[in-house]
Amino acid sequence: MDEKQQLRNVVRAARLTRAHSQADSGSAADAALTENLAAVATEFGATRIACFIGVRGEPDTAAFLAWALAANIEVLLPRSRADGALEWATYVPDGLAPGAFGILEPQGPPVPDGAATAGVLFVPAAAVDETGGRLGWGRGFYDRELARIRAARTRPPSAFAVVWESEVLPAVPRELHDVPVDGAVTEATVHYFG
């Protein structure tokens, strides 16, 4: 088993343990995460953000999505395409359905140029490191999307991984195709890299 997969397995196990231990007490961490995500969106003056719905022990973004809508910030959520790319559609709370991997996805029409038009991107990760290295879950959707956005824009939106504080590590394994992030948002703080 390679180094990346070993670290993913460790993170999955820790998230499962965390989910069980926080079943009744996770609201404080969720509230702090929402506050930190809102602070980043506000700092960037975003009127449109790209985000995701947290699943399988990922930080819960539901309260943040509700905050963004209440703040009149348009939210784009991803859809996984069969060709390995992401497309983005506007988040409508009652307009979600399970997608290719069982993850809730927006059902509206795709937004032209998608996440590249957002003021800031919030992306999932298994872990990040202190230089912006991002370890994803191995399918490459977000690495391809971040590479596409950065190639298409002279001033691409900043991308922040959303992880638990314990998942910000000194180093994560990286390969040439791995695209770094500009920061990480956790329940404890906002990290800025580079």
What domains can you pick out in the chain, each with its CATH number? 3-192 (3.40.50.10420)
Predicted confidence (pLDDT) at residue 20 exceeds the cutoff of 80: no
Predicted confidence (pLDDT) at residue 187 exceeds the cutoff of 50: yes
Predicted confidence (pLDDT) at residue 18 exceeds the cutoff of 90: no
Question: What's the token pair of residue 73?
Answer: 């910030």
Residue 46, C-beta contacts closer than 8 angstroms, at least 6 positions apart: 73, 118, 119, 120
Predicted confidence (pLDDT) at residue 23 exceeds the cutoff of 80: no
pLDDT single digits (tens) 61-83: 999 999 999 999 999 999 988 88
Nearest partner of 55 among 120, 114, 105, judged by Cα: 105
pLDDT single digits (tens) 125-175: 999 999 999 999 877 899 999 999 999 888 899 999 999 999 999 999 998
Residues 147-184 as b/e (b if ≥16 CB within 10 A, e otherwise) read ebbeeeeeebbbbbbbbbeebbeeebebeeebbbbbbb
